[in-house]
Structure 1
């Protein structure tokens, strides 16, 4: 399934013109999903409809798929029923998110709504909710899954629980989403009066935006990554847009003595971990063949290497000269040059480089 990027806006709490500027920036960078939250009816049904229709129409014209998160109280306030979603279709929404569940049969019936609205289910509960809905022969292509976000520090999902919840949807081929949080909008831009960021995973709350997205995509469990809070900075949006959604990309800080051939080895190649793995290092061996005739004098080889260090075989390493390795277990070997180190924020990503996994390096300094 193709992977996507998304943003969020909250018309109940924001300036529509600022929302449009933000949406246009994201569209120009290739973002394609917009999450919106309808929390209350302000100024009556007509005023609410006009406010949301304005933003939704603008986003749809720019190619966004717009999912509207519905507060259950909205249905009562508007006097409408889950059995007739015409109101949301008239707004121009692509789908609605059901934060609260029914009995399974109700969701299956909603998935056959005549307006072709996608129905997004809450993924952040480790129960057989989806299986129950599918047992009622739901209209599967119109069923999506989306995790919650968590505004309060310490309230986000733990990683293992997130995996268990996500696997329940992924095994059925359901399109999945989760939230990451802008660091530049950490205390603003959400639907509630508590804004400690809006991530799905607690471990992401204070990480750079692109690192969060890189992680979610690397799990293989999430198809759409959405920035939960707004407004992310231009730099954050650009970093996210530049991210390879299908290949783990690691940011490297070079040592001062790194030489041109070592930089070529790192940056000019798509690497993959050997299938016959070792516990001590992640080995990328094809580069030693490609650069076999290139000299690589020893340097930075006198001290023990630690986890996250990137080393390349030097001229004293025989047939292993110019082999690239990422250190997993501390060791010392004078036949290897220390060329750089993975950013501290990304050391945990090494756990996702499995046998035959592809990975790349970038240097942002």
Structure 2
């Protein structure tokens, strides 16, 4: 099950602002919080931990699960050890994210703590997690979370990101990754002004598109916003992402008729045929649904075969181009009546033979999503 999360840094922002942000996110369905212990100064340790316990009470009241970034130095600072996580349990912490390690036996001890605190390992590198499992680590209390990267051009390579996620899924481990707010003057554990994404090529993209790219890989469970605060619009956009089906946003073509809109937007979900073509994605069942839908709308008791052809008509419309290109969304028209109503998305250039109408174009920044629609995979078109 996918979860959405926010990041907050209570030591760097007014408490009322942080709590208001948490309340807003909770109402939108967010259920995870990431925060960081790495920047706690030693001279403020006691006061910060008192405030943090109050923060945890508020977070739990709102239904959040909270993870905090730690390392062996943080353990020393608060008096914890691999075989004694009581100081973290006293704070109410749900997840300890390890930025560093205690060696194989120490990390195994972490995963076997009696407080049901999950131990979250760095998913952006191989930290020997499989070895921990093989040597007796408790997989039920192990989870993975990627890094985020404040420095521009330093984020994780997308292919490597997918490679790691595939590995974690082979181990049946829950995995989280970060998207980034494009809001001005956001912060992280440090002052950050160019975002906190996991994957570099996601930096600067709309936040919902970042999430849809990560979800499209099929191996990311939770999506967390790395920097604080995201704008209200971004919180809502991410909350509105369909976590169960790949959404592809399009710009609608001129002259589209209601029958074509019905095929594009009302039929759900579309899915590519198992006998996949390298030239296009084909959602063939939409043509059957379209005929049945039109028959019902017309209010006739006759069979589809008895219906007048104009009740399901999609007349040819000249798109003003001789060749359809990658990302063009097409609906088969009356000139190929047997396939009328089939929705197709062009992958490789094909000639306009007059049998298909151009109904929309995939937005340029979303074209890479087409690579993730495999035979049988569901997708949804959104205007």
TM-score tier (shorter): over 0.9
Change (3 A) 1:323 1:278: same
Partner Cα distance (2:42, 2:55) in 1: 16
Partner of 2:265: 267
- The 5 A counterparts of 1:24-173 are 24-38=23-37, 39-41=39-41, 43-125=43-125, 127=126, 129-173=128-172
Contact 2:329–2:360 (CA<8 Å) still a contact in 1?
Answer: yes
Pair member with larger Rg: 2
Change (3 A) 1:305 1:86: same
The CA deviation string for residues 275-313 of structure 1, in whole angstroms up to 9 with x for no partner, is: 001111100011112223511111143412111110111
Partner of 1:297: 315
TM-score, with normalisation over the residues of structure 1?
0.95
Partner Cα distance (1:300, 1:241) in 2: 38
Partner of 1:253: 251
Partner Cα distance (1:329, 1:116) in 2: 51
SS at match of 1:68: strand
Q: Flag the structure with higher helix content.
A: 2
**Which blocks of at least 5 consecutive residues in structure 2 are unaligned?**
292-310
Partner of 2:334: 315
The CA deviation string for residues 49-93 of structure 1, in whole angstroms up to 9 with x for no partner, is: 122112221111111110111143323333432332111111111
Contact 1:49–1:91 (CA<8 Å) still a contact in 2?
Answer: yes
The CA deviation string for residues 102-155 of structure 1, in whole angstroms up to 9 with x for no partner, is: 322211111111211110001111x36111111221111110100000000000
Partner of 1:287: 286
Q: CA deviation at 1:315?
A: 1.1
Partner Cα distance (1:291, 1:114) in 2: 57
Partner Cα distance (1:71, 1:107) in 2: 12
Partner of 1:179: 178
TM-score, with normalisation over the residues of structure 2?
0.91
- Residue correspondences, number: 360
Partner Cα distance (2:358, 2:348) in 1: 14
Partner of 1:220: 218
Which moved further from structure 2: 33-42 or 352-361? 33-42
Change (3 A) 1:194 1:239: closer
Partner of 1:349: 369
The CA deviation string for residues 214-263 of structure 1, in whole angstroms up to 9 with x for no partner, is: 11111111111100011111111111111111100111211121111111
Partner Cα distance (1:318, 1:24) in 2: 53
- The 5 A counterparts of 1:194-205 are 194-205=192-203
SS at match of 1:44: helix
Change (3 A) 1:42 1:128: closer
Matched, 1:236 2:207: no
Partner Cα distance (1:74, 1:137) in 2: 25
**Which blocks of at least 5 consecutive residues in structure 1 are unaligned?**
none
